[in-house]
Chain A
Amino acid sequence: MSDKKQSRIRRHRKVAYSLLSLLVLTLVLPLIPYAVAEKDETAGKVFNPGTELWRDVRQRDRDVIGTTQMKSVDAGVLINEYGETWRHFRMQQLVPYGAALMGIVLSIILLFYLLRGPLRLQEEPSGKKIERFTVFERTVHWFTVAIFWLLALTGLILLYGRFVLIPILGADGFGITASACKEAHNLFGPTFLVALVLLFLTFVKDNIYARGDMLWLLKGGGMLGGGHVSAGRFNAGEKIWFWIAIIGGLVLSVTGLILVFSILGQSREIMGLSHVLHGIVALVVISVSFGHIYLGTAGVEGTLGSMTTGYVDEAWAKSHHDRWYAEVKAAEDGSDKIVDEPGLATEGKS
């Protein structure tokens, strides 16, 4: 009984397998000649030399660089694929978004100033001054500022002059302005690297992450909540600005140098990409610098003096940089070198 049943199942299975293999064979066998025969793609087609050529010219499937008698950069490339992307970036993205970024940062600062006003000292100015920046430190700072703004202004004129200045100066007038800006920008570019190195060497030791910086950040630097947060010589905000300036400046320098030395034979694509980085980083650093300038001048009472005369009021130091104040006081113990008259303080090493 069970035997009969089993043999029937076996028979059915055999039939099923045979049918299946037949099906597979009918599908596969006709393909064998294709697999064995040499491939001839043009067989049966009218060969059109044009399509192949234009696909290459257009760089559709691969980068095609032809040969030519001309020695200039990228002369062998018939169609520059990257050009449209770059055009789109500069005209549709960098120009409007850059303007928006600067505008937004400026409005936030203005709003903040109107709503919160400058940060006041916790106590009355004591009239006692302590040295915050040496002559050398201040020299390096203003040296960097001078070159940075020379570059930023000339760069911004190149970027926005077409929209803002041509209506005012006319095409010829702006041509002169733009040429002056471009030459000054290119010439001063490499000197920015010098400033950057000096800035780095002068200030890096106080801009390393230290305990307490995280807390300072979490409390928003005292800007949001109110009250002052403990900090060393530089607070976390200042440290972040330092590193933005250094790293951003380095990116600007490297990309800028690639753009200046167009004779090294780098391709358009490298230059276009350098310009993309250069433009983005420039606008970010400029925008952040607005915040830095605000905090250094109108934003925090009594700060500007630290970079002009080099001295700050003790009350200022206690409010904003209590741990630094304690360090200075501890170092001073015994030597008692409090100077009331900044004009007479000549200890600054230079």
Chain B
Amino acid sequence: MFKHLVDGIFWDIALWVFTIGVLWRILSIFLVGNKKDLSVARTTGMTGAIAANISRFFPRSEMQSRTRLHVIAGYMFHLGLFALLFFAAPHILFVESQTGLSWPAMPYWAFIVTAQLAFVGLLLLWIHRVMDPVTRLISSADDHVGSILTFIVMLTGCMALLEGFEGLRVLHRFTVELLMVYFPFSRLMHAFMFIPSRAFTGAWFGRRGVKA
């Protein structure tokens, strides 16, 4: 019963909400448009956009020791999650069953290692967020819900690893659906927006000849 809902109507709803929600959020941001730039352009802005996109991957040198944990745990989590999401064999099989598209999966051991990296990263980041008075103060419910929901999705996924119980697969899919519905309305949107927003800042300052 629940299984049919999760594999059927719930999935459709989640997919629609996710797709339309994400598009709506992105469009609404782009449709705001830019304020007229009255300054004399020093560069095209393109260089600034690219530079900012690249430089943001590295911590600022003054911040290096203070942000060491964020950087290491952050990379562990995001790279781990990315690899898990797109290169775990069960995910690829799922995408293939839905769309017919397929690509090579990573070996099972790499799958497990990336899952572990992602878990370590996420736990460290979230606990640190709660423990550090500053980040705790500037975190809203959205940040916590996003972290916890992601953790639950990963946990149910790892619980279903044996691929031997329908119930566990359905549970994982259900939590994924919850995440998909939540996604467009939360800061998780940064997954889509981090490149454009870095580009915007970089270009904005770049045109003024300032390194962002």
Binding site for B on A (CB under 8 A): 135-136, 138-139, 142-143, 146-147, 175-176, 179-184, 186-188, 190-191, 194, 309-310, 342-346, 348-350
Which 9 pairs across A and B sit closest by C-beta, in order of nearness? A180-B159, A183-B161, A138-B131, A139-B128, A187-B158, A135-B132, A176-B167, A142-B127, A176-B165
| A184 partner residues in chain B, CB cutoff 8 A | 155, 158-159
Interface size on B, residues (CB 8 A): 31
Does B107 count as interface, using CB distance less than 8 angstroms? no
Q: B133 contacts which of A181, A190, A343 (Cβ < 8 Å)?
A: A343
Q: A183-B158, A183-B160 are in contact. Are A350 and B132 (CB under 8 A)?
A: yes
A350 touches B165 (CB 8 A): no
Bound Cα distance A182, B158 (Å): 10
Q: A146-B123, A184-B159 are in contact. Are A179 and B131 (CB under 8 A)?
A: no
| A138 partner residues in chain B, CB cutoff 8 A | 127, 131
Q: Would you mind naming 7 contact pairs between A and B with Cβ atoms under 8 Å apart? A: A147-B123, A176-B165, A181-B159, A184-B159, A190-B116, A343-B137, A349-B66
- Closest chain-B Cβ to A175's Cβ sits at a distance in Å of 7
Q: Which of B120, B123, B155 has the most CB of A within 10 A?
A: B123
Does B22 count as interface, using CB distance less than 8 angstroms? no
Does B112 count as interface, using CB distance less than 8 angstroms? yes
A to B contact number (C-beta, < 8 Å): 80
B112 touches A139 (CB 8 A): no
B69 touches A183 (CB 8 A): no
- Type the 1/0 row for B118-141, where 1 means its CB is closer than 8 Å to any CB of A: 011001100110111110010000
A187 touches B167 (CB 8 A): no
A191 touches B133 (CB 8 A): no
- Type the 1/0 row for B20-58, where 1 means its CB is closer than 8 Å to any CB of A: 000000000000000000000000000000000000000
Q: A179 contacts which of B112, B127, B168 (Cβ < 8 Å)?
A: B168
Bound Cα distance A310, B136 (Å): 13
| B133 partner residues in chain A, CB cutoff 8 A | 135, 309, 342-346, 348
Bound Cα distance A310, B120 (Å): 22
Q: A344-B133, A345-B133 are in contact. Are A183 and B159 (CB under 8 A)?
A: yes
State the majority secondary structure of interface residues on B.
helix
| B160 partner residues in chain A, CB cutoff 8 A | 180, 183
A143 touches B137 (CB 8 A): no
B112 touches A187 (CB 8 A): yes
- Type the 1/0 row for B145-188, where 1 means its CB is closer than 8 Å to any CB of A: 00000000001001111101101100000000000000000000
Bound Cα distance A348, B133 (Å): 9
A143 touches B116 (CB 8 A): no
Does B203 count as interface, using CB distance less than 8 angstroms? no
Bound Cα distance A176, B116 (Å): 22
Q: Which of A175, A187, A344 has the most CB of B within 10 A?
A: A187
Closest chain B residue to A134, Cβ basis: B131
B161 touches A187 (CB 8 A): yes
Bound Cα distance A342, B68 (Å): 23
Q: Which of A190, A343, A350 has the most CB of B within 10 A?
A: A350
A176 touches B168 (CB 8 A): yes
Closest chain B residue to A310, Cβ basis: B131
Q: B124 contacts which of A139, A343, A345 (Cβ < 8 Å)?
A: A139
Bound Cα distance A187, B115 (Å): 8
| B120 partner residues in chain A, CB cutoff 8 A | 191, 194
- Closest chain-B Cβ to A180's Cβ sits at a distance in Å of 4
| B124 partner residues in chain A, CB cutoff 8 A | 139, 143
Closest chain A residue to B158, Cβ basis: A187
